A and B are shown apart, each in its own frame.
Chain A
Amino acid sequence: MEQPNDKIPVFASWTKWYVFVLLFNALLIILFKLFTNYFA
């Protein structure tokens, strides 16, 4: 169970973690699209 003083690593809040995970993957999809276009 999470304690009130449990420190969240790296980011200041979990919301920032969620945004990071989603943006990271959105960026990956964009890179994959560029990859597909470059090699196709």
Chain B
Amino acid sequence: MSRADWIVLIVTLAAIIAWGLYKSRTTRNLDGYFLSNRTMPWWLVLLSIMGTQASAITFLSAPGQAYTDGMRFVQYYFGLPLAMVVLSVTFLPIFHKLKIYTAYEYLESRFDVKTRTLTSFLFLLQRGVSTGISIYAPAIILSSLLGWNIYWTNIFMGGLLIIYTVTGGARAVAYTQQLQLIIIFVGMFIAAYMVVHLLPEGIGFVDALKVSGRLGKLNVITTGTNGQGFNWNDRYNIWSGIIGGFFLQLSYFGTDQSQVGRYLTAKNLTESRLGLLMNGVVKVPMQFLILLIGTLVFAFYQFNAAPLFFNKVQINKVAQSASADSLKIMQRQYDALSVQKKTAVTQWVNDYKAGVDTRASEQELKSINGQTEQVRTGFKGLLAKEGIAGDNNDTNYIFLRFVVDYLPEGLVGLLIAVIFLAAWGSIAAALNSLASCTVIDIHKKFIRKECTEQVDYSTSRWYTFAWGIFSIIVAMFATNMGSLIEAVNVLGSLFYGVILGVFLVAFYVRPVKGHAVFVSAVIIELGIILLFWKSSLGFLWLNVVGALGVVVLSLLLQPLMGKKKL
């Protein structure tokens, strides 16, 4: 990075920390620290829930996902608007009426302490680990691309935000997320503009989309069917998105404290509802635009030579292994194909603009792209053959590699700052929610029930700090996990379905009591882990199986268990 990039990066990050500290003034009690005294307007709630959901992985992986797999990933969010409506109708009125701090508190009044503690524990387990991954995921990419030390990158990625999160609690989290999102959107807009600007002369935005579309990258809507009918193992299609995505988003926004804690800060039910409903309006278009950047980058690399593998560190490792000669041959093949590809895509664009038959040039372009993919697969084979450790999936490196290689000085620093800020927004909210659950559901329930507001406040700050350190330690231990955005989503899907099932029973199945729902949750959770381990079912379906499994099993068990004490 150049000096200008460093200046932009450091000034941006310092400004966020200063803004967070400036906005840290809050009353020194649990209401002030965890819920900002329930004073937030709807637009701040909206920005806060968006900033919490959109992590660094979102901005790194989504363009890469579009580059490699096309835009169909956007279907993952199709269930979100319906989930926002269901939450507004069912969950929100109850949460606001009971004036709870955590979603799990409600389960004690509806069921019993053990059900509340189980769901709270499942949340702490999955959110604690996934926050660590949220630190590690962008850190490993930045360290690989920029040659930074991974341990120090983890510490800066997960450590600096602790300053304002510990000091200011939910209020500082919300106000920093507001500024972070503005900077993120500006940065991503500039990046999109630059991709189009860097295309060869005479090639515009629509031409780039035409190229990506013809090469199968604008597959926004897919049905998940193949020759043998519906493919249940297909991860992203309109049905898994609407049905599986609905259950996942309902669980995430309705039962994950990192989100519940955001909209509980609203000054009343109306502001909470508006925040969530507006999220249902803006989320899908936002993801669409982020993915669109990936397809533009794909079009850009049709006219310019793409790296054989976007993670440079892995190429260097192979170059120093026994397969170095094979790598040289592959690199020569790949370079030759890149030249052919440029010629073919130029020919296709000329044909298309001249209005002549494009079938021959399109076939040629597709054939060359197929061959380049084969060479890339061959390189991954070398990584496997040599047993090289590290991330052997370069999807998450594509966008940032483009930024580092092609954007001018200053903008590189801004885009790297965007990655930091996106990470901080979600990690800060996660730390705040982990601390609120630990304090409200565990500490004040089992360790020290009665203490002064000042002690509660101080304890909450210490737990926030402790979870921050825990997350950094998890990041240090995180190893190769393939596509990291999916790793986080898969981890969530292992637990979300069951937690949602418990809440669905609580809201809609009044005859079922605590013992039946508790036993059902434990059995179905074990079943979900087994199902994930032994089958290749698309992970979004795990949310459906988990939620419906708990509802059905608890209905079956209730007559058998009756009022039996556990």
Partners in one complex: yes
A residues within 8 Å of B by Cβ? 1-3, 6-9, 14, 17-18, 21-22, 24-25, 28-29, 32-33, 35-36, 38-40
What are the residues of chain A within 8 A of B288 when measuring CB–CB? 32
A24/B281 in contact, CB under 8 A: yes
Smallest beta-carbon distance B210→chain A, Å: 6
Q: Is B182 an interface residue when CB atoms closer than 8 A count as contact?
A: no
What are the residues of chain B within 8 A of A22 when measuring CB–CB? 81-82, 85
Once A2-B96, A21-B277, A28-B285 are accepted as A-B contacts, the answer to whether A39 and B78 lie under 8 Å apart by CB is no
Q: Which residue of A lies closest to B81 (CB)?
A: A25
Within 8 A of A (CB), among B289-340: none
A39/B238 in contact, CB under 8 A: no
Interface CB pairs A-B, < 8 A, 10 = A6-B270, A8-B270, A21-B277, A24-B81, A28-B285, A29-B78, A36-B221, A38-B213, A39-B214, A40-B218
What are the residues of chain B within 8 A of A14 when measuring CB–CB? 88-89, 273
Chain B binding surface, main DSSP class: helix
What are the residues of chain A within 8 A of B82 when measuring CB–CB? 22, 25
Smallest beta-carbon distance B407→chain A, Å: 26
Q: Which residue of B lies closest to A21 (CB)?
A: B280
Q: Which residue of B lies closest to A2 (CB)?
A: B269
A21/B281 in contact, CB under 8 A: yes
Given A25-B82, A36-B219, 17 additional A-B pairs, CB 8 A? A1-B268, A2-B270, A6-B270, A8-B270, A14-B273, A17-B277, A21-B84, A21-B277, A25-B284, A29-B238, A32-B74, A32-B221, A33-B220, A33-B221, A35-B218, A36-B218, A40-B213
Q: Which residue of B lies closest to A9 (CB)?
A: B274
Within 8 A of A (CB), among B242-275: 268-270, 273-274
Q: Is B61 an interface residue when CB atoms closer than 8 A count as contact?
A: no
**A-contact 0/1 string along B95-116, CB 8 Å cutoff:** 0110100000000000000000
Q: Is B209 an interface residue when CB atoms closer than 8 A count as contact?
A: yes
Smallest beta-carbon distance A5→chain B, Å: 11
What are the residues of chain B within 8 A of A35 when measuring CB–CB? 218, 220
* Max chain B Cβ within 10 angstroms of own Cβ: one of A7, A8, A28: A28
**A-contact 0/1 string along B63-83, CB 8 Å cutoff:** 000000000001000100110
**CA–CA, A14 to B280, complex, Å?**
14
**A-contact 0/1 string along B214-230, CB 8 Å cutoff:** 10101111000000000
**CA–CA, A39 to B377, complex, Å?**
27
**CA–CA, A29 to B209, complex, Å?**
18
**CA–CA, A18 to B84, complex, Å?**
9
What are the residues of chain B within 8 A of A29 when measuring CB–CB? 78, 221, 238
Within 8 A of A (CB), among B186-217: 209-210, 212-214, 216
Smallest beta-carbon distance A32→chain B, Å: 4
A39/B270 in contact, CB under 8 A: no
**CA–CA, A1 to B210, complex, Å?**
51
What are the residues of chain A within 8 A of B78 when measuring CB–CB? 25, 29
**CA–CA, A9 to B269, complex, Å?**
13
The one of A3, A21, A24 that contacts B268, using a Cβ cutoff of 8 Å: A3
Smallest beta-carbon distance A2→chain B, Å: 4
**CA–CA, A1 to B212, complex, Å?**
49
**CA–CA, A19 to B512, complex, Å?**
32
Smallest beta-carbon distance A30→chain B, Å: 9
The one of B81, B88, B99, B212 that contacts A39, using a Cβ cutoff of 8 Å: B212
**CA–CA, A24 to B258, complex, Å?**
27
Q: Which residue of A lies closest to B269 (CB)?
A: A2
Smallest beta-carbon distance B46→chain A, Å: 13
Q: Which residue of A lies closest to B78 (CB)?
A: A29
B97/A1 in contact, CB under 8 A: yes
What are the residues of chain B within 8 A of A38 when measuring CB–CB? 213
